[in-house]
């Protein structure tokens, strides 16, 4: 069955069958590369997170000393405050100032220079900071807010801790809410120190979770689109709440870790070579089969393929009680073309005549060249014997048209004999022989005509017609007497 498929079709089928394998391998390699890239990003992102959490935790821890002092000394003096605040600011690289807000109104600030605008600021009257202050009072715990724009200029992440007056042992009185202590941490400086602003990072960053509300608040650093396409994410822990640090690998990182193009090139080369190999093998096999089963001049089936098709048709028609016809064709007066115009003109004439015969047939019918100027036509699935005669008439009319080419203007005719299955034979050899007898009878009857096989053909028709054909060819013989 495979040998009957044209090489180009089989090669195309090979390509189509192998292509999904390449797609599967490419997708698997793509997943491997993506996992590798995400692992690289996750490792470097973990380092950035650790630095960010470490700096924030260190700066915020400094604030706890001030909270402890004020809770015991609620009437803290300015001198005491400045001494503690100076140590806090010197201990933190990015702390912009240190403040106390008694009853949530800023009452102390260090350094004062450059922060005068913040004195007297009532947090309860600032919408952008009111929510964070309310959370401090509700939870009694330190809250990280921001980044926020400061009234004195700049952007900061503000750590605020509630202050409760220590338990009064003398009067057995529980500590009341005093206010809060705060340290604004310079946001651009913090991000620069951590490395978030490094342009050489192999990924794009973004931070989400303003005021420590990672699930509900917006993006406050980086490009929002980072969160749109399955980023690598890590949670940055805060004293109360968290941020989400996200990263998307840059194209150059993906390119540095990818072998997709190698897979495509190698896979494409393998598929191409296999496809070419299949085409070459099948093409050679197809050429051998064509040479063994087809006439090289006209491209028509030869006697070998005709016999195969006839036997197949006899078996099918016998099972289905169907009818078919075998037509034996022999060209009249063809030899003079070779003698007058040369063998090249004769070959061209045979190709033209072969095409004319094929044009008179259905696609399911067969025409084979079985000799120099002899053809056999097989007509399957006949409704009546007259159908075979109609086809024979069409062939006679078509062949009789003047030839065009090197033998331009010369005309030939054809004599045809018809044998019908199963009346004239139930085997391929018998049908061809009866059609042959009928064809020679047509020649002796005047040529350029067709005739049906007779119940009792005269074998001498064949001898007489062949003798006449030889005489036309220049080999004159005496015709036998009847």
pLDDT at 441: 95
pLDDT in tens, 261-301: 555 566 566 666 666 666 566 655 655 666 678 899 999 99
Q: CA-CA distance, 31 to 261, in Å (whole number)? A: 14
Mean predicted confidence (pLDDT) in 377-387: 94
377 has which bridge partners? 327, 367
Least reliable range by pLDDT among 214-223, 247-256, 397-406, 430-439: 247-256
Pair 329, 439: CB distance under 8 Å: yes
pTM confidence score: 0.51
Tell me the two tokens of residue 139: 């939870």
Percent of the chain scoring above 70 in pLDDT: 76
Average pLDDT over the chain reads 82
- Looking at residue 202, the DSSP 8-state letter turns out to be S
pLDDT in tens, 309-327: 999 999 999 999 999 999 9
Assess whether pLDDT exceeds 70 at residue 27: no
Q: How confident is the model at residue 339 (pLDDT cuts 50, 70, 90)?
A: confident
Sheet holding 155-164, edge to edge: 105-110, 98-102, 177-186, 155-164, 143-149
Phi (first) and psi of residue 116, to 5 degrees? -60, -35
Tell me the two tokens of residue 323: 């009818």
- List, as one string, the DSSP characters of 99-155: EEEETTEEEEEES-TT-GGGTT-BGGG-HHHHHHHHHHHHH-S-EEEEEEE-TTSSE
DSSP-derived pairing of the beta strands 366-369 and 450-452 = unpaired
Tell me the two tokens of residue 480: 């036998």
Q: CA-CA distance, 46 to 37, in Å (whole number)? A: 14
Q: CA-CA distance, 159 to 104, in Å (whole number)? A: 14
Residues composing the chain: 482
Q: CA-CA distance, 297 to 230, in Å (whole number)? A: 67
How many helices (H) and strands (E) the chain has is answered by 12, 14
- Looking at residue 173, the DSSP 8-state letter turns out to be B
- What's the maximum distance between 2 C-alpha atoms anywhere in the chain? 159
pLDDT at 84: 93
Percent of the chain scoring above 90 in pLDDT: 46
Q: CA-CA distance, 475 to 482, in Å (whole number)? A: 21
Tell me the two tokens of residue 135: 């959370």
Q: How confident is the model at residue 257 (pLDDT cuts 50, 70, 90)?
A: very low
Domains of the chain with bracketed CATH:
1-287 (3.30.450.350), 294-472 (3.30.70.270)
Pair 157, 63: CB distance under 8 Å: no
Pair 360, 398: CB distance under 8 Å: yes
For the chain, state the CA radius of gyration.
51
Tell me the two tokens of residue 363: 């696609």
Assess whether pLDDT exceeds 90 at residue 428: yes
Q: How many CB atoms lie within 10 A of CB 204?
A: 15
pLDDT at 239: 83
Tell me the two tokens of residue 241: 């709440």
Mean predicted confidence (pLDDT) in 462-477: 46
pLDDT at 430: 94
């Amino acid at each position: 069955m495979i040998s009957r498929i044209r090489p180009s079709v089989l090669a195309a089928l090979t390509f189509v069958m192998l292509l999904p394998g390449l797609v599967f391998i490419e997708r698997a390699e793509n997943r491997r590369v993506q996992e590798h890239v995400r692992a690289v990003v996750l490792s470097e992102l973990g380092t950035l997170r650790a630095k960010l959490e470490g700096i924030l935790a260190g700066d915020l821890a400094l604030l706890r000393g001030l909270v402890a002092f004020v809770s015991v000394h609620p009437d803290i003096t300015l001198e005491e405050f400045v001494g503690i605040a100076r140590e806090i600011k010197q201990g933190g690289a990015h702390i912009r100032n240190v403040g106390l807000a008694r009853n949530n109104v800023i009452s102390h600030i260090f350094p004062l220079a450059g922060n005068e605008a913040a004195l007297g600021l009532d947090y309860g009257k600032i919408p952008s900071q009111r929510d964070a202050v309310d959370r401090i009072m509700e939870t009694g715990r330190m809250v990280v807010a921001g980044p926020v724009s400061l009234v004195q200029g700049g952007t900061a992440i503000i750590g605020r801790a509630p202050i409760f007056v220590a338990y009064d042992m003398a009067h057995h009185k529980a500590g009341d809410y005093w206010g809060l202590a705060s340290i604004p941490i310079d946001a651009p400086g913090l991000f620069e120190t951590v490395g978030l602003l490094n342009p050489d990072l192999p990924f794009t960053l973004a931070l989400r979770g303003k005021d420590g509300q990672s699930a509900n608040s917006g993006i406050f650093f980086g490009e929002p689109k980072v969160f749109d396409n399955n980023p690598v994410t890590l949670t940055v822990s805060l004293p109360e709440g968290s941020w989400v640090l996200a990263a998307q690998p840059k194209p150059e990182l993906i390119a540095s870790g990818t072998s997709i193009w190698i897979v495509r090139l190698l896979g494409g080369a393998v598929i191409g070579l296999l496809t070419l190999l299949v085409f070459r093998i099948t093409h050679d096999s197809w050429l051998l089969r064509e040479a063994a089963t087809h006439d090289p001049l006209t491209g028509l089936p030869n006697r070998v393929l005709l016999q195969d098709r006839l036997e197949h048709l006899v078996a099918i028609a016998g099972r289905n009680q169907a009818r078919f016809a075998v037509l034996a064709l022999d060209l009249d007066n063809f030899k003079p073309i070779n003698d007058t115009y040369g063998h090249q003109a004769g070959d061209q004439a045979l190709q033209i005549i072969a095409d004319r015969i094929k044009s008179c047939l259905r696609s399911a019918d067969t025409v084979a060249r079985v000799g120099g100027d002899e053809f056999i036509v097989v007509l399957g699935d006949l409704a009546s014997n007259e159908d075979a005669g109609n086809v024979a008439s069409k062939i006679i009319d078509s062949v009789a048209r003047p030839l065009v080419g090197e033998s331009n203007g010369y005309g030939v005719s054809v004599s045809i004999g018809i044998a019908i299955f199963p009346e004239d034979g139930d085997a391929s050899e018998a049908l061809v022989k009866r059609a042959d007898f009928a064809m020679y009878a047509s020649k002796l009857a005047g040529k350029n005509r067709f005739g049906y096989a007779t119940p009792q053909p005269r074998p001498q028709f064949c001898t007489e017609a062949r003798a006449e054909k030889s005489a036309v060819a220049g080999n004159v013989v005496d015709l036998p007497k009847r």
